[in-house]
Chains A and B, each alone.
Chain A
Amino acid sequence: MSLLPGLTDSNQATDLFVDANEVHKLVLKEETEWKVEIPSSSKLTITIRSGIAEIFGTELANDVEYTFSNWKISLSAVENVILEWKCPDIPNKDLMIEPNTTSKYVYNLHFGLEKMRNSSFNGPRILVVGNANSGKTTLCRTLCSYAIKFKSYQPLFINLNPHEGIFSPPGCLTATPISDILDVQSQTWGQSMTSGATELHSKQPIVKNFGLENISENRSLYWDNMNQLSNAVNERLQNDVIVQRSGCILNTPSLSDLDEEFNELVTIIDRFKVNIVVVLAEQDEFTLFEKVKETLRPYIGDFLIRLPKLSGRFEADDAYKRSLQRTAIKEYFYGTPKTILSPYASGADFEEITVWKPINMVEAQGTTSTSNPLQLLPVTVDASTLQHALVAISYADRKSSSSEVQKASILGFGLITEVNEKKRKIRILLPVPGRLPNKAMILTSYRYLE
C-alpha cells in the first residue's frame, strides 16, 4: 500500500481506465466533411453505422470496419452519418469537421460529363490542372468513382504527375481503366494485378517509367514518356468501346512544374485529344486562370472551367509527399494489410545485370555534352549508386542498346536491397517469384530502406 501513495487518489484511478482502444461515436451532418490527418505509424479505424459517407467519391459500406494509416483523408457525409472511430493517437476533441463547400460543383461537373457519355460514343476527356495542393488528385479520384456508380463505365485515369504513385510506385506516368470500385483505404487507389484473390477487383495499368523526381530534371524525357503513353492510350481507346465511351480523366503535374507559357498543356491536350479543362484556382489567382484560358481557348473553346480549390484537399508538405511515395513503393512489393503480397528476394552476379540511368539535366549542366537528352547512360554497378535503389525492369533484353531500352515497355520494378562488392553480387527484391529476368534495368531516383 505505502509503496503506491498516488494510486488510490481518484485522478489516478480514472487515468487507468482511459482506454486507448476506446471507440468514439461521431455524428456528421449532411454536407459536412471530417478531415483527419492520421499520425504516422498510427492507424484509424472507421465504421459507418448509418447514413451515406464517402471518401474522395468512394462510398463506404455500412457496418464494415475500415482501416487507414499514413494518410490524410476527408470523410464526406452525403447524408447525416453516424459512425464509430478508434485511434489512440487522435484526441477526441476539436475534430476538424467543416462544411463541404465544393461538393456541389463536383456533382454539377460529374453530371455534365455523364450527359456527354450518354450522348456520344466518344466520351469526355477531361484535364485537371492547378497549382500544388489544389486538390487535383482528389477531384480526379472523385470523378472516376462517380463515373462508375450509375452505369458500368470504365473511365481511363491518366496520371501525368510523376510525384504520385497511383497503381504504381512513384516516378511513373500511367493510364488505368477504372473498371470497378476503388479501394477507399488506399492512397494508391487500390491494387494493380496480383496473382491471387483480392478483396476488390484489381486494376490493369500501363506504366511508363520517368524515374527522375522532377520534370525539370529532364523535360525531353518526360515528354517522350508522355508521347509513348499517349500512343498506347489512343490505341487502347480504338480497341475498347467501353473505355472510349467512358472517356479519360487526366491528372497533371502542378502548374509550377510546367513551362510558363503553358505550351506543355497544349501538347497534352493535343496528344490525348482533351476536350475539357478544369482549372482549380481561387478568385485571387484570377490572372493565372485568365492566362491559362487565353492560351487554351484556341484548342478547347469554352470548355474551360474554373473551380475553387476543393474543400477536402490537404496541404501536403515535402515530408508528407515523401511518406506517400514510400507507401506506394512498399505497397507495390508488399501489398496492404488486407492484401498481403509476397515479394521475392533474388540474387544476381554483377556480370549478369545491366543498369541504365536517364540523364539528369540539372546535375549534368555544363559537364556533359547533352547532344541527346533521351539517351540513357550506363551505370557502374556499385554499392554507392545502387544500394536501396528502385529500378525499373524493362521488356528490353539485357544486351539491348540504349535507345531500345528507352523505348521499351516496362515489366515492373525491383528493389536492390544489397550490393556486395567483395562477392560481386546483388540482392534484388522482385514482385514476382523466380529469377531476375534477363532484362535491361533503369535506375530511378527513388530509394527505399526497409
Chain B
Amino acid sequence: MDKETEIIVKDFTSVLDELTFNSRPIITTLTKIAEENISCAQYFVDALESRIEKCMPSQKLYAFYALDSICKNAGSPYTIYFSRNLFSLYRKTYLLVDNVTRTKLINMFKTWMTPNETTGGSLPLFERGALERIEQFLIKASALHQKNFQSMLPTPTVPLLLREIDKLAGLTNERLRDQPNDQKLQTKLMVLSQLKQELQRGKLSLDALKQVQLQLTEVFAQDQQVLQERVRYQQFQQEQQLKQRERSTTTSSLEPTETPMPLGTNNSPSPLFNGSVSSLFGNVSRIVTPEDFAEMEKASKLTSIQTLFHSLNGAGLIFTPPKESIVTLFDKIDSTNKLNSKKAKNNNLPSISFLQDVVSNCKAYFATANVNILNTPTLQLSQQNIVNDNPVVTKSLIHLLYRNKPNKCSTCGKRFGNSIEERKLQTAHLDWHFRINKRIKGSSTTNAQTNAMTSQKNIQSRNWYLHDSQWVKFNDDEIVSTQNTFNENPKQTIADVDQQKYASGSNGSSTATNIQMSNFEDMLSLNKNDANNSTSETADLSKKYVIVPESTEDMTFQCPVCKDSVTSVYDEELGEWIWKNTVIINGKKFHSTCYYETIKNNSSL
C-alpha cells in the first residue's frame, strides 16, 4: 500500500468506526469515498467486512447498510468483491441479531434480488450464487422456526384435542350470541362437531392428529383476535361513555334517558381474557412452557404460599376457628361441600405478591406506630451516630420512606399514605397522570359521523430559564400543583425576555412580531379550506405550499423568521413550480412552520 492509499484507507476506516448508529451522513460519506477511490476498493471491502465481523451485534446492521449503499451507488468492482464472503457474513449476522433487525436484514436482502441500475438494470446486485445461498438459508431459518414452534406443542392425544374443540366451540357460541345471524360462525360450529365425531371414532394417525392440532391453533388465534378487537372496541365505547358522563355531570341538566347504557350483554370481559386460558391455546409463551418448568413454578408457589401463611399467622392476621366452633362442625358434616368451596376459594385468591405486600405494609405500619423522630437522640448528627448501626433507623424509621405509605402509584412509584388527606392527594395525583397521559398521547377526538380520528400531538420544546429576579420569587407549587397542567393555566410563570424586541437588523424584513392573532386565525381557516385530510397539525403545516406566481422573477425568497432562503421546486404531480412549507400572510412569504411557531410563541408570552 503506498502512502496515499494508506491515508485514504485510514480515513475510510476512521469514518467507518463512527458508524455506531444508523447515520445517513456517515453512510453517504463512506459511499462517496468508495466511489471516488475505486483503486482502493479491495481495502475498503476488507475494512467493511472486518467491521461487520467485529462490531457489536446492534451495530452490524448499519455496517451492512454502508455495504448496501456502496454497492448500489458505486457498483462494480465492489459488488464482485463483496459477493465472495457475502453469504457467510450475512448468515453470521443474521444469527446474532434480534428479530427486529432480522426483518430489516431480510428487507435489505429483498432489494438485492431486484435488478439493479448499477448492474445494467437486468441483473441482481450481487453474484447469483451468493444470493441464492442466502435465500436458501433464509428459507431454512424460517422453516426451522416453524418446526421449533410445532415441536413445542404437546403431543396431541384424542382427549386433549376433544377438550380443545369444546373450548373452541364454546368461544364460537359466545360470538354467535352477539351475532346470531353470522353464517360463517354456524358453519364453523358444524365443522367442529364433525371433527369431534371423527376424533371419537379414533381412526386418525398421529400425523393426522398433528394436522388437526395445528389447524385448531390457527383457528383459535383468529378467534382470539376477533374477540380482542371486540373487547378493545368495548373499552373504547366505555371510555367514550365515561367522557360523556363527565360532561353530563358538569352540565348537570341532561335527561337520564340520554345517559348511554352499557353495550350488549357482554359488558364484563369474557373469561378467556382473565389469564386462565387453556393449556394448548393460550398465548405462545404458555404453549412453550415445558411441563417440568410448570412443576417447578408450582412448587415455588407452594413454598411462598406457606411462608406467606406463616407470616400472616405470625402477624395475627389469620383467623383460625376453634375446634368446637360452628364453622369446623359444618365443614366436617358437609365434606363434599367443603371440597367445592375450597376450589372456589382458590380461584378467588389474590396473587401472592399482592398478599406479600399486605403483610409487609402491616409490618411497616406497626414498626412506625410509636416512633418520633424528634424524640430520638441517636438521630443527632455526629460521626458516631452516622457510622454506627442504628436499630431505630433500620428497624422502624426506614419504613417511613417506603411502606408506611402503602399506596404506591402504579405509574411513577410515588407513595401515598392512608389518611384522608393523603387519599385526596393520591386521587388528585392519579387524575393528573391521566390528564397528562392524554395530552402526551395527543388529544384525540372522534367525529361520530365519519368515525375519523383527528389528533393533535404533544409538540413541545425546552423553555428559556427564568431571569434571576423571576427565579428568586418563583414558587415550585406552581409546577407541582395537580390542579392544573401546564398550558391549562394561563398564569404559568415563563421567562420574561422583556427586552426581546426581535429588532430586525434592517429595513423591516421582519414582521414576525407584528403579526396579530387575527392573522393566526386567518391561517387556521385557510388551513381548513385547502386541507381535506387534516390529520396532524404540524404535518399539515409543513405540507402547505405556495405556487410560484408566473409574474415572479425571483424564484427564491428569504423566510423572515429563520432567515433561510427558500428555493422553489418543481412538483411533478401539480405540474407547477412551488415553494414548499410556505404561506403568504399579508403579501409576505414565510415558512409555514416558522410562522406558526412564532405565532404560538407570541400568544403564549
List the interface of chain A (C-beta within 8 A of B): 3-4, 7, 12-13, 15-21, 39-42, 49-50, 52, 58-64, 78-79, 88-89, 104-105, 107-116, 118-119, 146, 149-150, 152, 154, 177, 179-181, 184, 192-207, 228, 232, 235-236, 239-240, 242-243, 276, 302-307, 332-333, 335, 339, 341-349, 351-352, 395, 397, 409-412, 425, 431-435, 437-439
Which residues of chain A come closer than 8 Å to B99, judged between CB atoms?
19-21
A349 contacts B563, C-beta separation under 8 Å? yes
Give the shortest distance, in Å, between A14 (CB) and chain B (any CB).
10
A150 near B400: Cβ-Cβ < 8 Å: yes
Roughly how many angstroms separate A434 CA and B461 CA in the complex, as a whole number?
A: 11
Report 8 cross-chain contacts, Cβ distance below 8 Å, ordered by A residue.
A50-B353, A64-B411, A105-B387, A108-B386, A181-B413, A199-B436, A432-B462, A434-B597
Closest to B481 in A: A201
Contact A412 B465 (CB under 8 A): yes
In chain B, what residue has the closest Cβ to A351? B505
B530 within 8 A of A: no
Select which of B98, B398, B462 is within 8 A of A333 by beta carbon.
Answer: B462
Contact B58 A112 (CB under 8 A): no
Q: Is the CB of A115 within 8 A of B376?
A: yes
B567 interface residue per 8 A CB criterion: no
B476 on interface, CB distance cutoff 8 Å: yes
Known: A88-B58, A181-B412, A431-B464. Is A204-B502 also a contact (CB below 8 A)? Answer: no
Q: Among B119-127, B135-143, B215-223, which stretch is in contact with chain A?
A: B135-143
Select which of B57, B436, B505, B604 is within 8 A of A88 by beta carbon.
Answer: B57
Which residue of A has the minimal Cβ distance to B538? A342
A272 to chain B, nearest CB (A): 15
Kindly identify which residue among B96, B404, B474 contacts A204, using a CB–CB cutoff of 8 Å: B474
Chain B residues 364 to 408 lying within 8 A of chain A, measured CB to CB, are 373-374, 376, 379-383, 385-390, 393-394, 397-398, 400-405, 408
* Residue from B57, B145, B497 in contact with A395 in the complex, judged by beta carbons closer than 8 Å: B497
Q: Which of B46-98 contact A (CB under 8 A)?
A: 56-59, 95-98
Indicate if the CB atoms of B412 and A108 lie closer than 8 Å: no
Bound together, the chains give a CA A287 to CA B406 distance in angstroms of: 45
Q: Please, how many angstroms separate the alpha-carbon atoms of A255 and B473 in the complex?
A: 33
* B15 lies within 8 A of chain A by Cβ: no
Inside 8 A of A276's CB, which chain B residues have their CB? Answer: 381
Closest 3 CB pairs of A and B: A196-B460, A20-B98, A61-B413
In the complex, B173 has a CB within 8 A of chain A: no
CB-contact partner of A409 in B381, B412, B467, under 8 A: B467
Instruction: Judge if B234 is at the interface, Cβ distance under 8 Å.
Output: no
A-facing mask of B132-164, CB < 8 A → 1, else 0?
Answer: 110011001100110010000000000000000
Given A201-B479, A411-B497, A438-B501, also A335-B462 (CB < 8 A): yes
B21 on interface, CB distance cutoff 8 Å? yes
What is the minimal beta-carbon distance from A51 to any residue of chain B, in angstroms?
8
Say which residue of A115, A149, A196, A199 sits within 8 Å of B487 (CB atoms).
A196
Closest partner residue, chain B, to A237 (CB atom): B472
Q: Are B382 and A302 in contact (CB under 8 A)?
A: yes
Number of A-B residue pairs, CB cutoff 8 Å, is: 306
Could you tell me if A346 and B374 are in contact, using CB atoms closer than 8 angstroms? no
Task: Please tell me if B475 contacts chain A, counting CB pairs below 8 Å.
Answer: yes
* A305–B381 alpha-carbon span in the complex (Å): 8
Residues of A within 8 A of B381 (CB): 109, 112-113, 116, 276, 303, 305
Contact in complex: B460, A435 (CB < 8 Å): no
Q: How far is B432's CA from A180's CA once the two chains are assembled, in angstroms?
A: 13
A79 with B360: CB separation less than 8 A:
yes
Given that A49-B353, A196-B439 are contacting pairs, would A180 and B479 also be in contact in the complex, using a CB cutoff of 8 Å? yes
How distant is the Cα of A52 from the Cα of B439 in the complex, in angstroms? Answer: 30
Nearest CB on A from B513, distance (A) = 9
Contact of B465 among A49, A192, A434 (CB under 8 A): A192
Residues of chain A with a CB closer than 8 A to B141's CB: 7, 16
Are B386 and A4 in contact (CB-based, < 8 A)?
A: no
What's the Cα separation between A345 and B461 when bound, in Å? Answer: 12
Q: Is B20 an interface residue (CB 8 A)?
A: yes
Pair B563/A111 contact, Cβ less than 8 Å: no
A52 touches B480 (CB 8 A): no
B133, B472, B505: which contacts A236 (Cβ < 8 A)?
Answer: B472
- Chain B residues whose CB sits within 8 angstroms of the CB of A179 once the complex forms: 476-477, 479-480
Q: Contact between A341 and B415 (Cβ–Cβ < 8 Å)?
A: no
State whether A195 touches B495 (Cβ < 8 A).
no
Give the docked Cα–Cα distance between A200 and B414 (Å): 11
Contact between chains at A195 and B479 (CB < 8 Å): no
**B residues less than 8 Å from A205 (CB atoms):** 465
Q: Is the CB–CB distance between B563 and A346 below 8 Å?
A: yes
Interface membership of B409, Cβ < 8 A? yes
Q: How far is the CA of A195 from the CA of B464 in the complex (A)?
A: 10
Q: Is the CB of A89 within 8 A of B497?
A: no
In the bound assembly, the distance between CA atoms of A204 and B468 in angstroms comes to 12
- Give every chain A residue within 8 A of B473 (Cβ-Cβ): 239
Residues of B within 8 A of A (CB): 20-21, 56-59, 95-101, 132-133, 136-137, 140-141, 144-145, 148, 353, 356, 360, 373-374, 376, 379-383, 385-390, 393-394, 397-398, 400-405, 408-415, 436, 439-440, 458-469, 471-477, 479-480, 485-487, 494-495, 497, 499-503, 505, 510, 512, 561-564, 594, 597-598, 600-601, 604
- Contacting residues, chain A, for B133 (C-beta < 8 A): 3-4
Whether the pair B461, A432 counts as a contact (CB closer than 8 A) is yes
On chain A, the residues within 8 Å of B405 by CB distance are 149-150
B residues less than 8 Å from A119 (CB atoms): 374
Looking at the assembled complex, report how far the CB atom of A334 sits from the nearest CB atom of chain B, in whole angstroms: 9
* Chain A: minimal CB distance from B60 (Å): 11
CB nearest neighbor in B for A156: B476
Report the Cα distance A344→B386, complex, angstroms: 50
In the bound assembly, the distance between CA atoms of A338 and B403 in angstroms comes to 28
In the complex where A16-B141, A19-B98, A202-B479 touch, is A196 in contact with B458 (Cβ < 8 A)? yes
A46 → B minimal CB distance (Å): 12
- From A49, A242, A432, contact of B464 by CB (8 A): A432
A240 vs B56: C-alpha distance in the bound complex, in angstroms?
A: 51
Tell me how far the C-beta of B429 lies from the nearest C-beta in chain A, rounded to whole angstroms: 10
Tell me whether B497 and A437 are in contact (CB under 8 A).
Answer: yes
**Which of chain A's residues have a CB closer than 8 A to the CB of B472?**
232, 235-236, 239
CB-CB under 8 A from B397, the residues of chain A are: 107, 111
Is A15 within 8 A of B95, CB to CB? yes
Question: Which of B374, B460, B601 lies at the interface centre, i.e. has the most chain A CB atoms within 10 A of its CB?
Answer: B460
Beta-carbon nearest neighbor of B398 in chain A: A107
**Is A197's CB under 8 angstroms from B460's CB?**
yes
Bound: A422/B382 CA distance, A:
66
Asked if A341 and B467 sit within 8 Å, CB to CB, the answer is no
Residue of A nearest to B473 (CB): A239
**Contact call A342/B476, Cβ cutoff below 8 A:** no
- Shortest CB distance B354–A (Å): 9
A49 to chain B minimum Cβ distance, whole angstroms, is 7
Min CB–CB distance B47 → chain A (angstroms): 20
B413 — which chain A residues lie within 8 A by C-beta? 58-62, 64, 181, 184
User: Is A107 in contact with B439, judged by CB distance below 8 angstroms?
Assistant: no
- Given contact pairs A112-B386, A149-B401, A431-B463, enumerate 5 new A-B contacts (beta carbons under 8 Å): A61-B410, A198-B436, A206-B465, A346-B563, A437-B497
Given contacts A116-B381, A236-B471, A305-B386, contact A39 B505 (CB under 8 A): no
The answer to whether A13 and B561 have CB atoms under 8 Å apart is no
Q: Are A192 and B601 in contact (CB under 8 A)?
A: no
Q: Which residues of B contact A4 (CB under 8 A)?
A: 133, 136-137, 140
Distance A432 CA – B494 CA, assembled complex (angstroms): 12
* Bound: A192/B404 CA distance, A: 30
Would A13 and B58 count as touching, CB distance under 8 A? no
Are A62 and B486 neighbours in the complex by a CB distance under 8 Å?
no
Give the residue name and chain of the B residue nearest to A412 (CB). Answer: B464
Distance in Å from the Cβ of A18 to the closest Cβ of chain B? Answer: 8
Give the residues in chain B near A243, CB-CB below 8 Å.
476
CB-CB under 8 A from B144, the residues of chain A are 7, 13, 16
Contact A195–B376 (Cβ < 8 Å): no
Separation of A410 and B101 alpha carbons in the complex (Å): 44
